[in-house]
């Protein structure tokens, strides 16, 4: 049963992935069609070094329970469904949710929902203080994953992807 409403920032310690991070106890391989477990163990640090995304690690009582990898992106006006009169922008800045995963032993406790809310709050905070950001965007497998994101306001958008994948956006404001 989900207890996402009982979780807040004080429940977690959030750290940036580093070469010193011990990932040996983290396992999100159950139902892992997107190979998120392989990503965090083999690729996330090199992505970070190359400026492709920054991985935020979430610890609860000193146990790594989940992670998100964030990057900057853009979405085309035609993808968003926005109806903006007298505005000629073609692309809108977006926070890209590259990866989001929860440890197998911590699922169904609201942590995935908390991680998603963290991403959206992060985007709004940065948009209000440091950089432009109108959307949060992601690509995920169709099915239960799109249902999860839809539940929190993400909308499917036009994108030329493999038939099994869906691009989704959330309008921040």
Domains and CATH numbers, the chain: 4-171 (3.40.630.30)
Q: Assign 71 to helix, strand or coil.
A: strand
Dihedrals φ, ψ of 92, to 5°? -120, 135
User: Cα(70)–Cα(68) distance, rounded to whole angstroms?
Assistant: 6
Query: Whole-number mean pLDDT of the chain?
Result: 90
In the predicted structure, residue 139 carries a pLDDT above the cut 70: yes
Quick one: tokens of 116?
A: 């998603």
Tell me the average pLDDT across 138-147: 92
Tens of pLDDT, residue by residue over 24-52, are: 999 999 999 999 999 999 999 999 999 99
């Amino acid at each position: 049963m989900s207890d996402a409403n009982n979780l807040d920032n004080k429940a977690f310690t959030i750290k940036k992935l580093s070469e010193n991070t011990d990932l040996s106890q983290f396992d999100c391989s159950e139902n892992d069609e997107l190979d998120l477990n392989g990503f965090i163990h083999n690729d996330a640090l090199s992505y970070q070094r190359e400026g492709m995304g920054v991985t935020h690690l979430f610890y609860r009582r000193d146990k790594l329970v989940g992670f998100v990898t964030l990057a900057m992106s853009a979405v085309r006006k035609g993808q968003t469904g926005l109806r903006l009169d007298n505005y000629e922008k073609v692309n809108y800045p977006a926070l890209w949710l590259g990866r989001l995963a929860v440890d197998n032993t911590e699922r169904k406790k609201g942590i995935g929902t908390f991680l998603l809310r963290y991403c959206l709050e992060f985007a709004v905070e940065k948009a209000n203080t440091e950089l432009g950001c109108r959307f949060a965007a992601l690509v995920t497998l169709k099915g239960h994953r799109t249902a999860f994101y839809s539940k929190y306001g993400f909308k499917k958008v036009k994108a030329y992807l493999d038939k099994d994948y869906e691009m989704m956006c959330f309008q921040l404001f």
